[in-house]
Structure 1
Amino acid sequence: MAKSSADDEELRRACEAAIEGTKQTVVMSIRVAKSHGVWGKSGKLGRHMAKPRVLALCTKSKAQRTKAFLRVMKYSTGGVLEPAKLYKLKHLSKVEVITNDPSGCTFMLGFDNLRSQSVAPPQWTMRNTDDRNRLLLTILNICKDVLGRLPKVVGIDVVEMALWAKENTPAVPSQQNSERGPVASTVTEGDLKVTVEKELVSQAEEEDMEALLGTYVMGIGEAGAFSERLKRELLALEAANVHAILESEPLIDEVLQGLESATNCVDDMDEWLRIFNVKLRHMREDIESIETRNNKLEMQSVNNKALIEELDKLLERLRVPSEYAACLTGGSFDEAHMLQNVEACEWLASTLRGLEVPKLDPVYANMRAVKDKKAELEKLKSTFVRRASEFLRNYFASLVDFMIGDKSYFSQAFAQLIGQLKRPDHADLRYKCRTYARLLQHLKSLDKSCLGPLRKAYCSSLNLLLRREAREFANELRASTKASRNPTVWLEASTGSNQNMNVADTSSVLDAYAKMLTIFIPLLVDESSFFAHFMCFEVPTLVPPGGPVNGNKTGGNDDDTNDDDLGIMDIDDNDSKAGKLSGELGALNESLRDLLDGIQEDFYAVVDWAYKIDPLRCISMHGITERYISGQKADAAGFVRLLLDALESRISMQFGRFVEEACHQIERNERNVRQMGVLSYIPRFAILATRMEQYIQGQSRDLVDQAYTKFVTIMFVTLEKISQTDQKYADILLLENYAAFQNSLYDLANVVPTLAKFYHQASEAYEQACTRHISMIIYYQFERLFQFARKIEELMYTISPEEIPFQLGLSKMDLRKVLKSSLTAVDKSIASMYKKLQKNLTSEELLPSLWDKCKKEFLDKYDSFVQLVAKVYPQEQIPSVAEMRELLASM
């Protein structure tokens, strides 16, 4: 038999070391396995896995009392025992051996102070039943000796334990402190009678049973004789019984009579019982009927109570508070009462939503009271919406009338605003409007159709103010701007080509227009944004809070950038904004048209005024306007974009008028029958183009390029028409004017692609005119020589060169005559050619280049002639090309 861990002295010493300082004495220590699982059932491995532990029974003496403890020791990471848990044995109420464990080595200790905990007590498993019995007997002995009572023992045979205790008396020591020495105690069967007193027989009963069993055992040896005796006694008893029966016949008859009368009574009772059964059945049916009625009555009572509660809730929902009813039907709309109006609106909106089917049970929807209450609330809503709409319409009109009627606002304010670059101050107007922003939100949630008339009323009123401000501002702007008027006759021929134009400085006109846009475009954008949010349009924000105003490039002081931020939340959170955005934008732009329509006339007036002073300033105004258009990205500012587009169209139209008038001025030159030299509009166009380039801003390049195209096209067409009036001098007129065009626009053509294109076109036309004019002069002086060469060239297409000298007019004699007439005194002929080239040329600076072209052209033609003569008349001697080149170079 393996040695028990209870006899392990090292284990005991380790336990004593673990509880050193607690003044407790280890009575017994034994190794066990701790688990929380259930035998025969699967569980989580981590929780039901058995863990090694050491149970130590300890006692502690204090005065006249002794306390007993059960300590649970566990092994630390270093293999050293350390205390884990401490149980007081005075709370031990039950010792239960787990029946699911077939070995019987697993038990559980129940403590009464742990019953309230939800965690199941741990299970302790021993190595064998000897260790189990030894530990349990020790626990029971300590409980009996120290506490004077025993816990309940379940799941173990007490007799078996008592027999085990008798057989293993020396093996159950009760260890004391090593200083006192070991003291052995024996647990006998008598010690366990306290636990099983209800299960074992008493001592007297046990002695009687043993005596009876002893007597029975003594007769076992005479079984045959005993059997014969019992048979004889049985026969005797039967005979005696038969005799007694025969002697008791009268008694039997009396008994039979009694039985018969009893049978009759039983029959009567059975009849009565059947009657009672029927009555009881009817009574039971009546009772069931009564119970059914009672159950129905009880159910009806419960239902009636629940119905009353529901009706109370419904009545509370249908009740109209008197203060809200008074506010909705006749309350004031002053600023001091707006909080009450908003609260009443919120209550009315929530109540109306609460009476709809999603919020209200469908069974209540068709109730007459609910329908009547909904009709009453709808009437309240229509009354309030009508009153609020009428008040707001009058309020908007009164605000604008007050501002328009304030003469100082337009007389003094605008005079200061002109110099300070500030826009009209609408802060007070918006502040007063914001007071009713929340009210508009609730009016939208109550009746969305009421917003249309309110928006029209607001737009109609504010439109008067904006148009008045724009008109006054534009008038003050024009009156305070001083600029000399530039003539619109830019390309008129009567002014002369050599006169310099005295161009006045008209930059103040452009500054005035820019100031008009700087002041009013941000104002109109802010008004559009404020209107969109104030009037509850579900559109994106136009101007981000704190961000720069779109298009405000000149740095105006904007103190009102956040005026459109109403600081209110969207009440209708369930609306699908994505689906309504396009429709909302359309409605908003229609309203903005009503809000801002007519203000464009004042912008037009500034544009027309600037055009009359200096038409070329349209270029700069066009560029500024384009910059503002590119800054307008928000779709909700649609009318502002339309206004800028209309301004751009107006500026383009005015500039187009200027271009058309200038073109007409160019075309008037065609009426002069005789034109010589450089036409007047050629150099003046260069001055005009230089000034136009100075005025270009932003993307107005296209506008200017289109004007260049019109101007130059008309100039070239007119030049060609004028040149056709006198064919003799046509090429001279063309080459002088195309040369002047190139000279005057050389610098601009290097930087302006459109002018570069026309520069190259003029260069080609100049070369063609030069070629025609030079060819005419050469043929005029050497006509016979080159006519002879032309005949030879024509015949060489049909006959061989050897046959040409035999043709009529092309003989060698004819050649000598031509050479004599043309090349005799050739230096005089060349000098005459130079004089003729110089005679009709008005631009002396062109003469050297033309003379060079003329000499080169003459040498080329003479070279061709020499080659023809060498082919056809190889024996004839004529001056060589080199000689002719030296002659030309010497002249």
Structure 2
Amino acid sequence: MAKSSADDEELRRACEAAIEGTKQKIVFSIRVVKGRGIWGKSGKLKHMGKARVLAISTKSKGQRTKAFLRVFKDSSGGELEPAKLYKLKHLSKVEVITNDPSGCTFTLGFDNLRSQSVAPPQWTMRNIDDRNRLLLCILNVCKDIMGRLPKVVGIDVVEMALWAKENTPKVTNQRTVRDGPVAQTVTESDLDVTVEKELVSQAEEEDMEALLGTYVMGIGEAEAFSERLKRELLALEAANVHAILESEPLIDEVLQGLEAASICVEDMDEWLGIFNLKLRHMREDIELIETRNNKLETQSVNNKALIEELDKLVERLRVPSEYAACLTGGSFDEACMLQNIEACEWLAGALRGLETPNLDPAFANIRAVKEKRAELEKLKTTFVRRASEFLRNYFASLVDFMISDKSYFSQRGQLKRPDHADLRYKCRTYARLLQHLKSLDKNCLGPLRKAYCSSLNLLLRREAREFANELRASTKASRNPTVWLEASTGSGSNANAADTSTVSDAYAKMLTIFIPLLVDESSFFAHFMCFEVPALVPPGGVANGGKPGYNDDDANDDDLGIMDIDDNDGKAGKNSAELAALNESLQDLLDGIQEDFYAVVDWAYKIDPLRCISMHGITERYLSGQKADAAGFVRLLLGDLESRISMQFGRFVDEACHQIERNERNVRQMGVLSYIPRFATLATRMEQYIQGQSRDLVDQAYTKFVSIMFVTLEKIAQTDPKYADVFLLENYAAFQNSLYDLANVVPTLAKFYHQASEAYEQACTRHISMIIYYQFERLFQFARRIEDLMYTITPEEIPFQLGLSKMDLRKMLKSSLSGVDKSISAMYKKLQKNLTSEELLPSLWDKCKKEFLDKYDSFAQLVAKIYPTEQIPSVVEMRELLASM
């Protein structure tokens, strides 16, 4: 039998050299084949598989020892080099492959391999002895170092133990310490001792030997052995029963002791029940005492809290005598207003204090509280009635005093600017009172607002009436006639129209004075009478139409110097119903004042209707400066003024259009109509009055004027069809000449300018064609007949048609072109005869010559195509003849 590689010291030294520096020691090394290989008799690998060396190594770290399984392979230099390293603590299974009949192939399974799906490598040993030596070494190391054995599959541990015993020489003095580390050099005796120690204990081994010995010496068959074991079992059970019966006195003694102990326990349980009952009764008494004590304590605390609450309630229900006297019979003079305000504040606070949110709901139905609430309501009603009556009389007295003073209004020779500073100052004294009246009773403000509006309306209307009357009386302006476009008026009557700018200046002054005044009055009224709306004119605003300087000292007249009382006052402008009520009150405050503005507009219209354009622009500027808020009446007033101005201007436009339409009633019209140059003068002056505003108003007037002018012109032209084209072209030319400059800057007039230009060209074309056909009728009729026939027959057949032969052509040329210079002269004279505007003749004659040459050129091309052998005067000769004339 060949020597095993496990005993090869050279192999072990080669393995140690390969792992030099790792601080590990080689315990066991042996040559193996990776995969299924076949070993030769000489111990060399013949084929299949790869030669490897498996080695067991250990590494000590303190008291701990680690074990590793190393795989070595041969390098190119013939030395061993490390290939794989496994930690034996992860070894989970040792399995001998059953497919190998020799039993020399096995696998080692580790539980920490990354890919468990890949089968572990198979190791094939040279013989069974080498396999058993390697596996026994691995199992012994696992048991010694890790304290556990891996799972062994495909081999019996007892078989391995028997093999180890058979292959170990009987040496009695070779034993290793049970828990010591494995020796560095493993011999046969070491393997034997290790197997006996770890796999089967010494006692188990002796029992197995005795059993096996008995089996060998006395038993021939398994059935007889089984019968013997049953008899021994029955003997053992009988012996156990006998032993139990012998111990009966001891059991009786134990039972007597247990009975005595049971009697003591029952006595103890009875005493404990008695004590428990007494303790329960005592606990109930204690709980009853504690409950009574807690109730007394709670009652004491509640009584104390009730007394405090009642004291607070009594203090809340007390009405100070000074406040009661002030509310029921105090004076409203300016010196007493501070006391009235304090009384109001106390009354409002007292009423709020008796409301449910501020008063405990438990007190709300107390009789004393109800009586006190009724008393406070009575005080409130009395005070509100007295204050409202005083304020109504006070507003009326203020206005009556101002109206009775005539020096306060405009007088003859002196325009007086309305000044309400003193009125507002006196009203501010009672602004705080109105705030408190609103908080006490909102319904009282309605009559007060009506009284204030009624009184102040008289003052405002009187101021506007006196101012408007004196404004008209002091304005000097000569009246311009409204007959602008009438034919009967002299041509120069409107050329030097009088300057009426003072009229529009007077209207602007009326707006400058009164529009800011009305806005300020609206704003002051809204805040004085406690409407929940935003300020109408912010400081530095443009309520006066963008003209600073009006009432600069009173720029903050709408600021009453008071704080909001109601919490809801901070939500100004969000209540549309409040805004509607304000505008309704402003209607009462300012209604009627518009009549004086209308009077100024009507007066200005009578002096100069064109001043409506300027007034319209002024009104638009003021209207764009007003906000769409509580000053609603001022916007309505400006809107009504704008509509009235537009209506008056519309009347002027309608009258002027009526004057234009009168021209068609004349039986015979010659030359340029009179309203065309007059319209240019009117448009020039209208453009001067626009001043950057009222563009739409003027453009609408232009559209209406020009539409009527063109319609009337066409109607007049139809009265005499013979001269209609001459009449039209002269008037359209005059329209273009008179509006040339304005059409360059006014888009609306430019549109009508182009319309007149197209109508002029059409009239010229018709008139020139008529003159040409009058002189050369046969020539162009001959050409028209040829053109008509060319639609139905070929050009070669045309000379054979009746009246179109070459002889007919020669006759026609002789009659038409024999005295062509005279015919052209006659054409010029006819053109000159019908024209009344000599300046149009050169351009018309040029158009006539061009039109004649175009027609003759077409005729010459027809002749060359139909009568190629015939000779006619060329187009060049005809052009030279026309140029010489």
Tell me the TM-score normalised to structure 2 length.
0.66
Unaligned regions of 5+ residues in structure 2, if any?
Answer: 1-277
Which digits, 9 at most, give the CA deviation of each residue in 1:487-546, with x for residues without a partner? 000000111446653300001001100000000000011111111111111111111235
Are residues 740 and 582 of structure 1, via their aligned partners in 2, closer, same or farther at CA, if it must alter by over 3 Å?
same
Q: Is the 8 A contact 1:518 1:552 kept in 2?
A: no
Which digits, 9 at most, give the CA deviation of each residue in 1:605-661, with x for residues without a partner? 100100000000000111111011111125111111111111110111111111111
Q: 1:732: Cα distance to partner?
A: 0.7
Amino acid of the residue matched to residue 326 of structure 2? C
Amino acid of the residue matched to residue 549 of structure 1? A
Structure 1 window deviating more from structure 2 (742-751 vs 387-396): it is: 387-396
Q: Distance in 1 between matches of 2:872 and 2:839?
A: 36
Q: Of 657, 667, 675, which residue of structure 1 is paired with 2:669? A: 675
Are residues 822 and 546 of structure 1, via their aligned partners in 2, closer, same or farther at CA, if it must alter by over 3 Å?
closer
Q: 1:552: Cα distance to partner?
A: 3.7
Q: Is the 8 A contact 2:531 2:578 kept in 1?
A: yes
Structure 1 window deviating more from structure 2 (797-806 vs 677-686): it is: 797-806
Amino acid of the residue matched to residue 595 of structure 1? L
Q: Which residue pairs with 1:465 in the alignment?
A: 459
Q: Which residue pairs with 1:753 in the alignment?
A: 747
Which digits, 9 at most, give the CA deviation of each residue in 1:83-109, with x for residues without a partner? xxxxxxxxxxxxxxxxxxxxxxxxxxx
Q: Distance in 2 between matches of 1:559 and 1:740?
A: 59
1:324 paired to 2:320: no
Q: Distance in 2 between matches of 1:489 and 1:468?
A: 36
Matches within 5 A, 1:354-503: 354-411=353-410, 416-417=414-415, 423-497=417-491, 501-503=495-497
Matches within 5 A, 1:494-573: 494-497=488-491, 501-553=495-547, 556=550, 558-573=552-567
Q: 1:450: Cα distance to partner?
A: 1.2
Q: Distance in 1 between matches of 2:551 and 2:383?
A: 42
Q: Which residue pairs with 2:90 in the alignment?
A: none
1:786 paired to 2:780: yes
Instruction: Specify the SS of the correspondent of 1:493.
Output: coil
Q: 1:295: Cα distance to partner?
A: 7.2
Instruction: Specify the SS of the correspondent of 2:566.
Output: coil
- Percent identical among aligned pairs is 89
Structure 1 window deviating more from structure 2 (842-851 vs 579-588): it is: 579-588
Q: Distance in 2 between matches of 1:349 and 1:556?
A: 40
1:767 paired to 2:756: no
Are residues 292 and 860 of structure 1, via their aligned partners in 2, closer, same or farther at CA, if it must alter by over 3 Å?
closer
Q: Is the 8 A contact 1:708 1:755 kept in 2?
A: yes
1:837 paired to 2:831: yes
Q: Is the 8 A contact 1:441 1:536 kept in 2?
A: yes
Q: Distance in 1 between matches of 2:287 and 2:677?
A: 126
Q: Distance in 1 between matches of 2:550 and 2:657?
A: 39
Which digits, 9 at most, give the CA deviation of each residue in 1:814-865, with x for residues without a partner? 1111111111111111111111111111111001100110111111111111
Q: Distance in 1 between matches of 2:341 and 2:584?
A: 29
Q: 1:583: Cα distance to partner?
A: 2.1
Are residues 622 and 579 of structure 1, via their aligned partners in 2, closer, same or farther at CA, if it must alter by over 3 Å?
closer
Matches within 5 A, 1:797-812: 797-812=791-806
Q: Distance in 2 between matches of 1:319 and 1:552?
A: 57
Which digits, 9 at most, give the CA deviation of each residue in 1:451-475, with x for residues without a partner? 1111111111111111111111000
Q: Distance in 2 between matches of 1:498 and 1:398?
A: 60
Q: 1:559: Cα distance to partner?
A: 3.7
Structure 1 window deviating more from structure 2 (851-860 vs 390-399): it is: 390-399
Q: Of 606, 614, 625, which residue of structure 2 is paired with 1:612? A: 606
Q: Which residue pairs with 1:68 in the alignment?
A: none
Matches within 5 A, 1:112-123: none
Q: 1:558: Cα distance to partner?
A: 4.0
Q: 1:402: Cα distance to partner?
A: 1.1
Q: Which residue pairs with 2:727 in the alignment?
A: 733
Q: 1:401: Cα distance to partner?
A: 1.1
User: What count of residue pairs does the alignment treat as equivalent?
Assistant: 607
Q: Which residue pairs with 1:221 in the alignment?
A: none
Are residues 300 and 556 of structure 1, via their aligned partners in 2, closer, same or farther at CA, if it must alter by over 3 Å?
closer
Q: Of 590, 610, 622, which residue of structure 2 is paired with 1:596? A: 590
Amino acid of the residue matched to residue 376 of structure 1? E
Are residues 434 and 811 of structure 1, via their aligned partners in 2, closer, same or farther at CA, if it must alter by over 3 Å?
same
Which digits, 9 at most, give the CA deviation of each residue in 1:58-115, with x for residues without a partner? xxxxxxxxxxxxxxxxxxxxxxxxxxxxxxxxxxxxxxxxxxxxxxxxxxxxxxxxxx
1:656 paired to 2:650: yes
Q: Distance in 2 between matches of 1:292 and 1:883?
A: 145
Q: Which residue pairs with 1:198 in the alignment?
A: none
1:666 paired to 2:668: no
Are residues 548 and 788 of structure 1, via their aligned partners in 2, closer, same or farther at CA, if it must alter by over 3 Å?
closer
Q: Distance in 1 between matches of 2:539 and 2:850?
A: 76
Amino acid of the residue matched to residue 393 of structure 2? N
Are residues 487 and 301 of structure 1, via their aligned partners in 2, closer, same or farther at CA, if it must alter by over 3 Å?
same
Q: Distance in 2 between matches of 1:289 and 1:537?
A: 67
Are residues 408 and 696 of structure 1, via their aligned partners in 2, closer, same or farther at CA, if it must alter by over 3 Å?
same
Matches within 5 A, 1:197-208: none
Q: 1:548: Cα distance to partner?
A: 4.7
Matches within 5 A, 1:27-46: none
Q: Which residue pairs with 2:255 in the alignment?
A: none
Q: Which residue pairs with 1:723 in the alignment?
A: 717
Q: Is the 8 A contact 2:480 2:497 kept in 1?
A: yes
Q: Distance in 1 between matches of 2:873 and 2:549?
A: 80
Instruction: Specify the SS of the correspondent of 2:802.
Output: coil
Q: Is the 8 A contact 1:534 1:566 kept in 2?
A: yes
Q: Of 844, 867, 872, which residue of structure 2 is paired with 1:873? A: 867
Structure 1 window deviating more from structure 2 (314-323 vs 476-485): it is: 314-323
Are residues 770 and 557 of structure 1, via their aligned partners in 2, closer, same or farther at CA, if it must alter by over 3 Å?
farther
Amino acid of the residue matched to residue 633 of structure 1? K
Amino acid of the residue matched to residue 418 of structure 2? P
1:626 paired to 2:625: no
Instruction: Specify the SS of the correspondent of 1:679.
Output: coil
Amino acid of the residue matched to residue 514 of structure 2? F
Q: Is the 8 A contact 2:543 2:626 kept in 1?
A: no
Instruction: Specify the SS of the correspondent of 1:669.
Output: helix
Matches within 5 A, 1:309-320: 309-320=308-319
Q: Which residue pairs with 1:335 in the alignment?
A: 334
Q: Which residue pairs with 2:738 in the alignment?
A: 744
Are residues 747 and 710 of structure 1, via their aligned partners in 2, closer, same or farther at CA, if it must alter by over 3 Å?
same
Amino acid of the residue matched to residue 372 of structure 2? K
Matches within 5 A, 1:191-270: none
Q: Which residue pairs with 1:708 in the alignment?
A: 702
Matches within 5 A, 1:40-119: none
Are residues 884 and 554 of structure 1, via their aligned partners in 2, closer, same or farther at CA, if it must alter by over 3 Å?
farther
Q: 1:553: Cα distance to partner?
A: 3.1
Unaligned regions of 5+ residues in structure 1, if any?
Answer: 1-277
